[in-house]
């Protein structure tokens, strides 16, 4: 069992706490001039995404979590699992709905995603910051209307719904910022 | 290595502010008739406080051909007390102090300390003077001061009677106040007091005013004499903006009690798996000769400078912190 001493604590270090893999966001050394030293640590639970603050007695050891970030290509979904492949080793991984989280709304086949693997299994998938997706359905807007305001809902090929300007039509491709879910621009097929 | 790494962590403005602070402090003590002294930073003994770990060095050469182990001092206290016993009268020192295993936003293992002793001063007079120095160094001449007892703070902030709480009860309070991690931690009674103080009380101390915390529990007397009530010590600390800045004592002058505290410290050190530290016989000798009735205080100059400049990391006021030297 690999462990880390509090002296090794730094942002990004992966720990196993109460059975869940966590990452350190911030580590603060707290010590009264004379007295006991503590590490007060801000931590994100990688399974739930929850952020919490936890205190360790300095010098304590904490179990390490076998967590790595991998750039994987999304291959296909089978209704239950989303399948990914490491393009270097050709090793395949399957992510469930919990691990996919919000990424479900944005990824399509061939996209590369950052996947967090815990003990070799995906626990979190991050969609690329920007994706290009086709609009499958939107109300026909008025041609020539470019007056920013308002907009209308549009359904994308992945099922996600985003607000787009009125001049955008079904069948067009658009660029979306997956972090905010906002329309960025129209994409012309090259 | 990136070429930029040679640069100091402190801006030129911060370096100038440090120089001004040092000059102001020296001028104050010169005017007050307090003599500046120097004592060795590398000594054959060190403080025994279980909460402080000295850095070690070694000498080999003339006088000690077989080598001599040395400790870099965690404070200049013992040397200065020997000078007091030799009859110097009021003295101060500005020097580096060293503490192993301490690095962070408010800690660097080598830091600047201002320490002074006032024969004939009681703690009230000492706190007055510490307030004067703090206002000078912070460049906030109008700053008010408040005084709170250690037990009073635990009572008013957490509703805890520290004299009537076991380690288990203090742990339960930490858990109740949502200090995550406390539920599985193994600490002694003073460890729990430290946790509650540093996590729940200290952050709110000294907002827009100086806050002196007085009458520490007898178990945390360190080198202070005990108060007549027997359960508190004549020790204070100064906080400003939630940051600990100074630690002062009405000094213990009794050599036998000092020897007992050394032993008790080393006993605690062994219990925690820390190496015991050789007892300073020279300090005990000075105390047997006679240490004048006095108060003493140590002030962290780097932290004062941080607060003066609004910096939140000590690296920004040091020329070269641990990562840069």
Domains, chain B, in order of start with CATH, read: 3-144+209-324 (3.30.930.10)
Q: Which residues of B128-141 are buried (b: 16+ CB within 10 A; e: fewer)?
A: ebbbebbbbbbebe
Torsion angles phi and psi, residue B295, rounded to 5: -115, 150
Mean pLDDT rounded to a whole number for chain A: 92
Is pLDDT above 80 for A144? no
Q: Please give the share of chain B, as a percent, with pLDDT higher than 90.
A: 98
Which chain B residue shows the shortest CA-CA distance from A60? B185
CA-wise closest residue to A178 among A114, A123, A118:
A114
Residue indicated by tokens 């626990």? A123
**B4-57 pLDDT, tens per residue?**
689 999 999 999 999 999 999 999 999 999 999 999 999 999 999 999 999 999
Q: Rounded distance, CA B242 to CA A3, Å?
A: 33
Q: Is A35 in Cβ contact with B190 (below 8 Å)?
A: yes
- CA distances to A76, B13, B298, B301 from B92, rounded to whole Å, are 74, 27, 10, 13
Q: Rounded distance, CA B149 to CA B232, Å?
A: 10
Q: Rounded distance, CA B54 to CA A10, Å?
A: 24
A71 has a chain B CB within 8 A of its CB: no
More confident residue, A189 or B49: B49
Mean pLDDT of B251-261: 97
3-state helix, strand, coil in chain A (%, to 5): 5, 50, 40
Smallest Cα distance from B80 to chain A, Å:
19
Please give the structure tokens belonging to residue A97.
């709905």
pLDDT the model gives residue A147: 57
Mean pLDDT of A45-60: 94
**B5 Cβ contact partners less than 8 Å away, ≥ 6 residues apart:** B324
Mean pLDDT of A33-59: 94
**A21 Cβ contact partners less than 8 Å away, ≥ 6 residues apart:** A14, A15, A45, A46, A47, A65, A67, A118, A123
pTM over 0.90: no
pLDDT the model gives residue A150: 74
Best B109, B114, B181 member to test A by mutation, with max A CBs in 10 Å, is B181
Q: Is A29 in Cβ contact with B198 (below 8 Å)?
A: no
Is pLDDT above 70 for B119? yes
Mean pLDDT rounded to a whole number for chain B: 96
Find the CB nearest A57 among B187, B199, B237. B187
pLDDT the model gives residue A1: 78
CA-wise closest residue to B317 among B300, B303, B297, B299:
B303
Residue B183 near residue B175, CB atoms below 8 Å: yes
CB contacts of B190 in chain A (<8 Å) are 35-36
Smallest Cα distance from B180 to chain A, Å:
5
pLDDT the model gives residue B1: 47
Q: Is B247 in Cβ contact with A33 (below 8 Å)?
A: yes
Confidence of residue A149 (pLDDT cuts 50, 70, 90): low
CB contacts of B102 in chain A (<8 Å) are 29, 31, 37
Q: CA B167 from chain center: how many Å?
A: 24
Q: Is A30 in Cβ contact with B199 (below 8 Å)?
A: yes
Which chain A residue shows the shortest CA-CA distance from B48? A34
**B195-223 pLDDT, tens per residue?**
999 999 999 999 999 999 999 999 999 99
Smallest Cα distance from B62 to chain A, Å:
36
Is pLDDT above 80 for A167? yes
Domains, chain A, in order of start with CATH, read: 3-63 (2.30.30.30), 69-126 (2.40.50.140), 130-187 (2.40.50.140)
Smallest Cα distance from B36 to chain A, Å:
24
CA-wise closest residue to B306 among B11, B55, B8, B72:
B11
Which chain B residue shows the shortest CA-CA distance from A31? B198
Smallest Cα distance from A59 to chain B, Å:
9
Q: How many CB pairs under 8 A join A and B?
A: 73
- Ranges A21-35, A137-151, A173-187, B132-146: which has the least confidence: A137-151
Q: Rounded distance, CA B167 to CA B190, Å?
A: 8
Q: Is A33 in Cβ contact with B191 (below 8 Å)?
A: no
CB contacts of B186 in chain A (<8 Å) are 57
Sign of CA dihedral B153, B146, B114, B301: positive
Q: How many CB atoms lie within 10 A of CB B257?
A: 14
Q: Is A58 in Cβ contact with B190 (below 8 Å)?
A: no
Smallest Cα distance from B66 to chain A, Å:
34
- CA distances to A24, B112, B212, B246 from A64, rounded to whole Å, are 11, 36, 41, 38
**A74-114 pLDDT, tens per residue?**
999 999 999 999 999 999 999 999 999 999 999 999 999 99
């Amino acid at each position: 069992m690999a462990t880390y001493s509090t002296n090794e604590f730094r942002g990004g270090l992966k720990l196993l706490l109460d059975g869940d893999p966590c990452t350190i966001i911030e580590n603060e050394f707290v010590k009264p001039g004379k007295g006991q030293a503590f590490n007060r640590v801000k931590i994100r639970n990688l399974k739930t995404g929850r952020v919490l603050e936890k205190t360790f007695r300095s010098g304590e050891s904490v179990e390490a979590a076998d967590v790595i970030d991998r750039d994987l290509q999304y291959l296909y979904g089978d209704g239950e699992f989303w399948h990914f492949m490491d393009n270097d080793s050709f090793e395949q991984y399957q992510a469930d709905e919990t691990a996919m989280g919000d990424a479900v709304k944005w990824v399509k086949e061939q996209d590369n995603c950052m996947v967090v693997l815990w003990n070799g299994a995906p626990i979190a998938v991050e969609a690329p910051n920007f994706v290009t997706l086709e609009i499958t359905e939107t109300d026909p807007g008025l041609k020539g209307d470019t007056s920013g305001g308002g907009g209308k809902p549009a359904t994308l090929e992945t099922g996600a719904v985003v607000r787009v300007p009125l001049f955008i039509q079904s069948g067009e491709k658009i660029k979306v910022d997956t972090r905010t879910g906002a329309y960025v621009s129209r994409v012309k097929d090259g | 290595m990136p070429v930029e790494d040679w640069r100091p962590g402190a801006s030129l403005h911060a370096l100038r502010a440090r120089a001004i602070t040092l000059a102001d402090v020296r001028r104050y003590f010169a005017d007050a008739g307090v003599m500046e002294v120097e004592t060795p930073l590398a000594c054959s003994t060190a403080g025994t406080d279980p909460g402080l770990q000295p850095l070690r060095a070694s000498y080999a050469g003339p006088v000690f051909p077989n080598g001599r182990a040395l400790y870099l001092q965690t404070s200049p206290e013992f040397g200065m007390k020997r000078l007091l016993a030799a009859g110097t009268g009021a003295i101060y020192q500005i020097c580096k102090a060293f503490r192993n295993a301490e690095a962070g936003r408010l800690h660097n293992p080598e830091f600047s300390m201002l320490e002074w002793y006032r024969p004939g001063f009681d703690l009230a007079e000492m706190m007055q003077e510490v307030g004067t120095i703090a206002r000078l160094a912070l460049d906030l001449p109008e700053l008010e001061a408040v005084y709170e007892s250690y037990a009073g703070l635990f009572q008013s902030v957490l509703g805890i009677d520290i004299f009537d709480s076991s380690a288990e009860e203090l742990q339960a309070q930490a858990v109740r106040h949502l200090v995550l991690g406390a539920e599985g931690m193994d600490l002694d009674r003073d460890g729990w007091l430290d946790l509650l103080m540093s996590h729940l009380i200290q952050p709110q101390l000294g907002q827009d005013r100086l806050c002196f915390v007085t009458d520490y529990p007898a178990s945390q007397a360190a080198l202070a004499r005990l108060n007549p009530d027997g359960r508190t010590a004549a020790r204070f600390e100064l906080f400003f903006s939630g940051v600990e800045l100074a630690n002062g004592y009405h000094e213990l002058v009794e050599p036998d009690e000092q020897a007992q505290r050394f032993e008790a410290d080393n006993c605690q050190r062994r219990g925690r798996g820390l190496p015991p530290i050789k007892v300073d016989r020279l300090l005990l000798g000075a105390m047997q000769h006679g240490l004048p009735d006095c108060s003493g205080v140590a002030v962290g100059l780097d932290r004062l400078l941080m607060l003066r400049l609004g910096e939140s990391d000590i690296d920004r006021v040091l020329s070269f912190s641990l990562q840069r030297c």
